[in-house]
Amino acid sequence: MTIKSRKVECEFKEMLCKCDKGVYRLTDKLPIEDTNPKQWRHRCTSCGVEVYITAAYPLLVYKERDFMLADSLRFERHSKKVSFSK
């Protein structure tokens, strides 16, 4: 098998916190609740509040479909942090 890649234009979709200052990022501890649909634990980058959301933010949107971080889809995550610059 061969992996082929090309550049595409997509949207970077953030979930904003109620505090209006931060955005939600996945926490580095096992963030998934095994519910249906699954829920991922996020923490606000500003006020630190934790919430569960049914998708792992930030999301990329391409051709009206959401794409999530690959390592957030595994049931067990490694403890290394996922970080993005704003």
CB of 30 to Zn ion, least distance (A): 22
Distance of CA 23 to the CA centre of its chain: 11
Q: In the range 49-78, which residues lie near Zn ion by CB under 5 A?
A: none
> Rounded distance, CA 58 to CA 61, Å?
10
* Residue 22 in the binding site for Zn ion (CB under 5 A): yes
Q: Which of 26, 44, 56, 59 binds Zn ion (CB under 5 A)?
A: 44
CB of 42 to Zn ion, least distance (A): 10
Which of 42, 37, 34 has its CA nearest to residue 15?
A: 42
> Rounded distance, CA 86 to CA 12, Å?
11
Residues of this chain that interact with Zn ion (CB under 5 A) are 17, 19, 22, 44, 46-47
